[in-house]
Structure 1
Amino acid sequence: MRRIPFRSPHPAPGHSRPSTVSARTLLVAGAATVAVLAGSVLTAGCGTTTAGGHAHATASARAAEAAAGATPRSAPRVPAAAQGLPGMPPLLDPKDVYAADRPNALSPVVRNFPSRVYVPNSDSNTVSVIDPKTYKVIKTIPVGEQPQHVVPSWDLKTLWVNNDVGNTLTPLDPATGKAGPTVDVHDPYNLYFTPDGKYAVVMASLDRELVFRDAHTMAVKKTVPVSCYGVNHADFSPDGRYFIVSCEFSGELLKVDTEQMKIVGQQRLPFEGAMPQDVKISPDGKTWYIADMMADGVWVMNGDTFSKPTLLRTGKGAHGLYVSRDSKVMYISNRGEGSVSLLDFATGKLVRKWHIEGGGSPDMGGVSADGKVLWLSGRYDGEVYAIDTADGRTLAKIPVGSGPHGLAVYPQPGRYSLGHTGIFR
């Protein structure tokens, strides 16, 4: 039976090592779509449901969160500007935020980097490096405790491994594949970068904070406490002036003013037991999609008005969201049923579904530079999937370490990175 690290939201001083809780206990807890009885463990979202070890909320934690005043409130539109966020490179096409992500449109910064797939193994404390041409692991890199995501830096020069429980970041050089000295960063579950390249935004899930740090040195610039629980994923508006964050353990969304580093909106999703995950905007920037692993679909909303979202069901355990190289389709990984749903941006409708050959647990990943392969980690199966984007065939299942999570395909097209496993503009 797989053992899952457990970390209290408020660990006692001097206690940095997590205790464990059985996967069976979490599986039972995960079957509920409502808050579990006091003292029971609520399954974690992107970090884990039946396994994987990120963090777990309790019914008392939910009650405390509710008492903290996280009641839904509307968000005013963040004032727009013709040139967007000061210092942000203008979009190549105002009608398509992904216009810079066309097949093999690599920046000169990354053009000579070897093509690799970097897989953080949360339960093995390693990163597996895959050669996408041979589908073989060519290197295994020891990193800190419980690596969750491999995140390309804004300037594209560094890959940051988020060692969540270890409270560190491990920098990887994508030119050589070598790891550098770790950097102390507390609770780095996930990592994003503001569009102007000034700040890294640490999703400090258990600390209940958004921590703005210098994008290069990681020195803290501002800490923003949040009343929701489990900040984990985000995406930025086309003008870069705001971003929307999912809170997986309290089933909420935040709207954040980028320049002011201030929360301007907060709402609870209209589904009991909601656990929102990945966040992505449509190419025209008008529609936002938020995957929800407990609602088994994606929430659809207007980010400017921060409207009440509606649910589009895609499959059990909807989790990761990825855009095709032609900006026409979004790939949605359904971790609970081993499938990938395809959403047509033009119509807003699902057009097909691919199933992992032999089953699996597709989680986080990315699209190859040429757009021909979708790479996803198999969270509960110790493997990585390579999927043909032409017909959905499973090209390969590659054994890696235990608990593979937020893998990064690198390099990818784009001029700069907004973080996560690779959001490029």
Structure 2
Amino acid sequence: MPSRLLARLSALVLAVPLLAGAARAGEDLVYVLNSGDANIQVLDGRTRAEIRRISVLREVHHIVATPDGAQILIGDSGGNEMLFLDAATGEVKRRERISNPYHLAFTPDGKRLVVTSLRRGQVDVYAWDGQALKLEGRVRVGDMPSHLAFRPDSNVAYVTLQGEKNIAAIDLNTREILWKQEVGRDPAGILWHDGKLLVGVMGSNYLSVVNPENHAVEREVVVGRGAHQIFPSPDGSVLYATTRVDSRVVALEPRDLSIRRVYEVPGGPDDLSFAPDGRIWATLRWAQKVGILDLATGEVDTVRVGRSPHGILYRPADAAVAQAQPATPAAAR
């Protein structure tokens, strides 16, 4: 039997006993991607108890919900596979062969999924019809494409290139590179914010603020060593930056990027997800734990998970109900 097929069958066999604890619809679920243990850990968001683990082929890193909130997509970058899960129960619906999916994100209009391939120097652009992916094109973008952000009109993707100190802008319609700009050593997370691009410079201690119109780096915002990712709060009133070396979550004022508060979160906080109760769940990359940060007190509770936890997503039980409600016009907010 070919070794690749044997490995695939072994992974599926290992997954069987782990599926026994399947979640029930109506539970808050927290999905934790243990990249060092080749599994997805599902926790009860309210009790923090483990519900199940799902085996993958090799190495999961990032996670995204579909635009309608019904499914969750998880990239197994080492296994060249995409997993499609039922968001409400954690059930694996299907697995598809995808080339080295590292970071993945839907465009703001929900019509495309863009996937970076850290090891292969490529960015893949897929059309999304609500159920299936169709490859539109592949861009050879440079050394170690990592994280993604988008222009609000969904026509341009911005990608950090960790091996080049650059970010690249890609026209998603033509799949052409529009420009590159150096921002600092090991750029990681990237966010479109108020007409600018904020980039976590992991090889240093700051966020680069880049003007996408003239590609200039306008300023550097110091947040701490190992500046990694930037996450807006659900209501947009705060930006949170993670620093993996100094082990901080830094709250920033969105209007001028001044620091509101610094939270010490030991263990190398990486990805964040927001719970309905206002707490922040953070993967602690170096500690085999997830941290639950109380923003009022600064206290951090922890839950033991697998090795090198990376991506995380808190999915409330009422997410499907909220998704089904009509959006409130921006002018009315």
Both structures adopt the same fold (TM-score exceeding 0.5): yes
Of the candidates 217, 220, 228, which is equivalent to residue 135 of structure 2? 220
Deviations 1:173-208 (A, max 9, x none): 112211123100011011122233232111012221
Q: Indicate conservation of the 8 Å contact 1:148/1:406, yes or no.
A: yes
Deviations 1:224-273 (A, max 9, x none): 111x211111111223332211111221101122333322111222x4xx
Distance 1:288 1:342 in 2: 17
Aligned amino acid, residue 227 of structure 2: A
Distance 1:185 1:341 in 2: 35
Distance 2:213 2:30 in 1: 34
1:349 aligns with 2:258: yes
Aligned amino acid, residue 61 of structure 2: Q
Report what 1:240 is aligned to: 154
Matches within 5 A, 1:58-97: none
Report what 2:212 is aligned to: 303
Q: Give SS of 2:310's match.
A: coil
Distance 1:268 1:224 in 2: 19
Distance 1:338 1:210 in 2: 30
1:405 aligns with 2:310: yes
Report what 1:383 is aligned to: 289
Distance 1:234 1:261 in 2: 15
Of the candidates 272, 277, 291, which is equivalent to residue 365 of structure 1? 272
The total of aligned residue pairs comes to: 298
Q: Indicate conservation of the 8 Å contact 1:290/1:299, yes or no.
A: yes
Deviations 1:101-140 (A, max 9, x none): xxxxxxxxxxx75321100101111111111211222221
Distance 2:221 2:205 in 1: 9
Report what 2:98 is aligned to: 185
Q: Give SS of 2:309's match.
A: coil
Q: Indicate conservation of the 8 Å contact 1:322/1:367, yes or no.
A: no
Aligned amino acid, residue 273 of structure 2: G
Q: Give SS of 2:33's match.
A: strand
Deviations 1:279-326 (A, max 9, x none): 1122xx222211111111211122233222432110111112111233
Deviations 1:116-169 (A, max 9, x none): 110010111111111121122222111231011122123322111110010001
Q: Which moved more, 1:182-191 or 1:193-202?
A: 193-202
Distance 1:113 1:218 in 2: 28
Q: Indicate conservation of the 8 Å contact 1:119/1:150, yes or no.
A: no
Distance 2:70 2:222 in 1: 38
Report what 2:186 is aligned to: 275
Of the candidates 143, 146, 163, which is equivalent to residue 249 of structure 1? 163
Q: Give SS of 1:219's match.
A: strand
1:198 aligns with 2:111: yes
Q: Indicate conservation of the 8 Å contact 1:365/1:407, yes or no.
A: yes
Report what 1:209 is aligned to: 122
Instruction: Report the CA distance shift for 1:15/1:139 in structure 2 as closer, same or farther (over 3 A).
Output: closer
Deviations 1:54-75 (A, max 9, x none): xxxxxxxxxxxxxxxxxxxxxx
Distance 2:172 2:158 in 1: 10
Distance 2:208 2:98 in 1: 31
Q: Give SS of 1:303's match.
A: coil
Distance 1:113 1:303 in 2: 42
The runs of 4+ residues in structure 1 deviating greater than 4 Å are 411-416
Aligned amino acid, residue 164 of structure 2: S
Aligned amino acid, residue 132 of structure 2: T
TM-score (norm 1): 0.66
Q: Indicate conservation of the 8 Å contact 1:299/1:312, yes or no.
A: yes
Gaps of 5+ in 2: 6-24, 325-333
Distance 1:206 1:410 in 2: 29
Structure number with higher relative contact order (C-alpha < 8 Å, ≥ 6 residues apart): 1
Root-mean-square deviation (Å): 2.2
TM-score (norm 2): 0.83
Distance 1:234 1:138 in 2: 30
Q: Give SS of 2:92's match.
A: coil
Distance 2:119 2:224 in 1: 28
Of the candidates 329, 336, 340, which is equivalent to residue 249 of structure 2? 340
Q: Give SS of 1:392's match.
A: coil
Of the candidates 71, 74, 90, which is equivalent to residue 161 of structure 1? 74
